[in-house]
Structure 1
Amino acid sequence: MSGVEIREYRDGDGGAVRELFSLGMSEHVPAAFVHLLKQPPTQMVLMCTFCTLLATSKSFMLPVLAVTLLLAATRQLLVYKFNNYIESCHGADLKNIGESYTAARDSCFWVAESDGCLVGTVACLPRNDAPDCLELKRMSVRRSHRRMGVAKELCRKVVDFTRRRGYAAVVLITSVVQTDAQKLYEGLGFRKVREFLEPDVASKVSNFLLFEYRLDLRQDHAEK
């Protein structure tokens, strides 16, 4: 954490925040692709394609080429899906961060800055379906500053803010491929309370699970 300052969001930070968010989300594409390849439906489609073409064409190169093209197309579909999500966030809360977070009641947005460059972000805001909780959102740390304690300090900002505002817990959503994030949250005392899938067909076929984590603050305070 040496040389890294964590401060609240300023109006001029918007472009750098959106860039950092985009980079962080795009980095999950390779892990999502590997996860998809491990799913039985994916393996069945690839195997059936290979065996059918091998049996009907009497050629080894054709099924190899077909499977290669399927894999390339699948990866491009994942890139498309992630890019769509990034664009939707840019058009939603990240379009006007000040209005979405710093001007709203019981919400805030923090950035981590090093040598004038933004290297991390995190935010929180009330959750509509859980009025006693604040939701941790937009956690991202630049690759060059990971494993330096930046993410942990950003999380603690949210936890301290939530405790001061009198809320019972911090909740967050992460995905099956974000294993480093899961380890971070569990190390800070968060517990997994729910696993679920988005209702779209792609999420169900790929078994792209989302995990909800919760850190109970009132219980933690009582135990102390």
Structure 2
Amino acid sequence: MADIQIRKYRDDDAEAVKEVFTLGMSEHIPSSFMHLLKQPPTQMVFMCVFCALLASSKSILLPILAVTLLLAGARQLVSYMFNSYIDTSLKKDLNYITETYLEQKNSCFWVAESDGRVVGTVACLPSENLPECLELKRLSVRRSHRGTGLGKALSQTVADFTRDRGYAAVVLYTSVVQTDAQKLYEHMGYYKIREFVIPELAAKILNFTLIEYRLNVQGD
């Protein structure tokens, strides 16, 4: 951490921030694909297709080909969901960071810089549903700088900002497949509020669960 500086976002950071975010989200596609394959409905569909084709065709090749195509389709579904989320995030706030975070009250966006390169990001803004809380958003660290304590430092930056602004707590949302993020938050004292499935159709098919965490920063 000695050579890393956490500072407020500048307009010339725009492309690097989007790159860090996009790469970070894309890394979750393989684990999300495995999550889908572990779901009982998915396994049932694959087994039924295989058995039905095996019984009707009396050949092993056709059911194997069908299952292979189903696997490819499932992989494409996961990729589509993440690419859609990335596109939505860019259009919603990451193309307008200054307007969304720096020009709004009780909001901010930080980057972590190492040797002139953006290696991490984090942001916060007032929670839409909990007026006493700020919401931590866009926490991402380049793979090359993970395990250095940078994720914790970025999270702590938001906690300190939240405390200084007089808010009671930080809330955030992460997904069931982001196990490293869950460990980080729980290590920092965040506790789980609830789990829920995203309402979009693709997410329902994947049984893609989000987890809401909260960290009280003003004491009990």
Q: 1:38 maps to which residue?
A: 38
Q: How does 1:3-42 map to 2 (within 5 A)?
A: 3-42=3-42
Q: Is 2:122 aligned against 1:114?
A: no
Cα distance in 2, alignment partners of residues 61 and 6 from structure 1: 56
Q: 2:196 maps to which residue?
A: 196
Q: 1:53 maps to which residue?
A: 53
The root-mean-square deviation of aligned C-alpha atoms, in Å, is 0.9
Q: How does 1:79-158 map to 2 (within 5 A)?
A: 79-158=79-158
**1:41–1:205 contact (8 Å) kept in structure 2:** no
Cα distance in 1, alignment partners of residues 217 and 154 from structure 2: 17
Q: 1:78 maps to which residue?
A: 78
- Counterpart amino acid of 1:7? R
Q: 1:164 maps to which residue?
A: 164
Q: How does 1:165-184 map to 2 (within 5 A)?
A: 165-184=165-184
**2:77–2:202 contact (8 Å) kept in structure 1:** no
1:21-67, Cα deviation, whole Å (9 max, x unpaired): 01101000001000000001000000001101111111111111110
The runs of 4+ residues in structure 1 deviating greater than 4 Å are none
Q: 2:69 maps to which residue?
A: 69
SS in 2 for 1:101: helix
- Counterpart amino acid of 1:159? A
Q: Is 2:211 aligned against 1:211?
A: yes
Cα distance in 2, alignment partners of residues 110 and 206 from structure 1: 32
Output the TM-score relative to the length of structure 2.
0.98
Cα distance in 2, alignment partners of residues 2 and 97 from structure 1: 27
How many pairs does the alignment contain?
Answer: 220
Q: Which runs of 5+ in 2 are unaligned?
A: none
Cα distance in 2, alignment partners of residues 207 and 92 from structure 1: 24
Output the TM-score relative to the length of structure 1.
0.96
- Counterpart amino acid of 2:189? G
Q: Return the offset for 1:171.
A: 0.2
Q: Return the offset for 1:206.
A: 2.0
Higher deviation after alignment, 203-212 or 51-60: 203-212
Percent of residue pairs identical? 63
Q: Return the offset for 1:2.
A: 2.8
Higher deviation after alignment, 1-10 or 128-137: 1-10
